[in-house]
Structure 1
Amino acid sequence: MRVPRPVPVPWIQSMLPTTARLSRQEQANLFLLVKSLFRLRQTLIDTLPTIDILIIINKMSIFRPESSGAAQLRPRSRNDEEKLERRNSILDAARKTILSKGYEKTTMDDIARAAKLSRGLLYVYFKDKDDIQMGLAVKAGEALYQRMKAAVDVAHSGIDALKGIGEAYYQFYRQDHEHFQCLCMRMGMINPSLDRNTDSCTLREMMAEEDKIMGLMSSCVERGLQDGTINPDKVDNPLQTAMFMRGSLHGVIMLQDTTGSSLFDRTELDREELILYAMRFALEELRA
């Protein structure tokens, strides 16, 4: 029986010098194994879109230098960058589409058309619309965190850091309103039972951003307790205080928004002055 000569594929070219030491039959078997792995990758990719099968291959003993002498495969950084760029372009298209049409009316087809790619390729990057929305919340959370971190870095005390965070949050609302809307949308959509039972890479990223923001705010409260600018009698738990500060400011911002109370349109109540008053009131309550 004639053994077919293995046909090289580009990403295993570097393996050819070492595979040359294998017999014709062993080379053919190796090539068939690689083809089978790629078929497996296509099967898995719908349910596990973040998996890169090359990483799995990299861990298999057949490709380890100590077991076969073959060159070890590594994911290409260029491919990773291209994937990240494509993922971000999908999120940008999704954000504009969802904010324009509304979350409920937006379909995966709408997002695919806006991103100028096929519906099938869209599912390679995100498993459903909720996964995309969580991705938008991740980007929004990172944008907010960077603003807060910049304010904290130049603050001279814990109480000043909290003031800077409050001002950064308000400017985030005013200057980066699309990201602010995405964050608010996610806050109103979280399903506790879904979040507990769903194992999603995007969900974990979203929770990590939330932890970063609240960790930063909590550290400012702790800093104020240490430098004496925050009254310890007013703080039972730094994280609790940080959550109250964020929640109270967010509530006032939403109340004065054009979608909030109509009282601002019927009276002389000033929207911005209310926000500044709320920040002053909260800070003075904590100040030592």
Structure 2
Amino acid sequence: MSVSNWKEREREQRRNDILDAAETLFFSKGYDNVSMNGIAKKVGLGKATLYIYFDNKEELFYTVVLRGVIILNTMIKEKVEKEDTGLEKLIAFKKAYNEFIRRYADYFKAYNYFQSGRFDLSDMLHSDYSEIMMQSMLYSIHLPSNFLKVDANETIKEIFKLRKEIFFTLHKSIELGIKEETIRSDVDPLKIAAIQILICENIGNLSFDFRMILKGQGVNYVKFTKDLDDFISQLYIK
């Protein structure tokens, strides 16, 4: 191995060590209770070294979120691609999302916090973001060049790209189901996809007090989620 390759490998390992330490602290303490000093102490490096690899704490958190979104996108694609019909793909999508929530609860919490409004991402988005998303969704998987502003954070760009791919996978599955006539033809695949993702994201994020209310009324949480999914499915399945 050449000296340059060895140095590059060492640099990548150190970057991953920093990220692993930050991830552990974010998961155990929450974003707002973690500092760059704490991360430096956890990984055993000087604080100044962290800034060689990451601009700030936000960048570290975005990268942790990206790790989770990569896992989610991979799980969804693997399960959906195994199925043949649109309806089967739709069901596989929901199963993959629910499995991600169960297996990677910490990543899911971080992902939800990223979407909570805690971080101001509006300055990074093009003013016509929603229209660009719509056109891109309908005609191409590739993001247009003006999807995000030129100076937008690269990690944020990748997160949004993968989020769009996740939505696109579901949207195309619903379209296929409509074409095959296993899903009602009078529904809007875009709206159904949005509703389904909202349910997937929020059903795994029910507040503690709401869960306690269900429990107090003798309602099994697992059965509740299944009943809700069955109810929503009746809106679009033939």
Match of 1:276 in 2: 226
In structure 2, relative to structure 1, the CA distance for the partners of 1:82 and 1:164 (3 Å cut) is farther
Match of 1:249 in 2: 200
In structure 2, relative to structure 1, the CA distance for the partners of 1:246 and 1:120 (3 Å cut) is same
Alignment of 1:171-250 (within 5 A): 171-188=99-116, 189-196=118-125, 199-235=152-188, 238-250=189-201
Between the aligned partners of 1:80 and 1:242, the Cα distance in structure 2 is 42
1:282 counterpart letter in structure 2: I
> TM-score scaled by structure 2?
0.79
In structure 2, relative to structure 1, the CA distance for the partners of 1:79 and 1:229 (3 Å cut) is farther
| Larger deviation, residues 146-155 vs 193-202 | 193-202
Q: 1:265 aligns with which of 215, 219, 223?
A: 215
Match of 1:117 in 2: 45
1:97-120 Cα offsets, whole Å, 9 max, x none, are: 022222112101111222222212
Kept in 2, the 8 Å contact 1:221–1:230? The answer is yes
Q: 1:165 aligns with which of 80, 83, 93?
A: 93
Match of 2:141 in 1: none
1:237-281 Cα offsets, whole Å, 9 max, x none, are: x333212101023222222x5464420231201111111122222
Kept in 1, the 8 Å contact 2:215–2:221? The answer is no
Match of 1:15 in 2: none
Kept in 1, the 8 Å contact 2:66–2:158? The answer is yes
Kept in 1, the 8 Å contact 2:90–2:170? The answer is yes
Kept in 1, the 8 Å contact 2:86–2:177? The answer is yes
Shift of 1:214: 1.3
Shift of 1:142: 0.7
Between the aligned partners of 1:216 and 1:139, the Cα distance in structure 2 is 19
1:233 counterpart letter in structure 2: D
1:246 counterpart letter in structure 2: I
1:77-127 Cα offsets, whole Å, 9 max, x none, are: 665554444333322211210222221121011112222222122112211
Between the aligned partners of 1:260 and 1:227, the Cα distance in structure 2 is 39
Say which SS state the counterpart of residue 183 (structure 2) adopts: coil
Question: Which is higher, the Rg of structure 1 or of structure 2?
Answer: 1
Match of 2:68 in 1: 140
In structure 2, relative to structure 1, the CA distance for the partners of 1:101 and 1:150 (3 Å cut) is same
In structure 2, relative to structure 1, the CA distance for the partners of 1:244 and 1:95 (3 Å cut) is same
Kept in 2, the 8 Å contact 1:224–1:230? The answer is yes
Shift of 1:179: 1.2
Shift of 1:143: 0.8
Kept in 2, the 8 Å contact 1:126–1:132? The answer is yes
Q: Percent identity?
A: 22
Q: Could you tell me which runs of 5 or more consecutive residues in structure 1 were left unpaired when the two chains were aligned.
A: 1-9, 12-75
In structure 2, relative to structure 1, the CA distance for the partners of 1:264 and 1:284 (3 Å cut) is same
Superposed CA RMSD in Å reads: 2.3
Alignment of 1:16-55 (within 5 A): none
Q: Which has the higher contact order (CA 8 A, sep 6+)?
A: 2
> TM-score scaled by structure 1?
0.67
Kept in 2, the 8 Å contact 1:158–1:221? The answer is yes
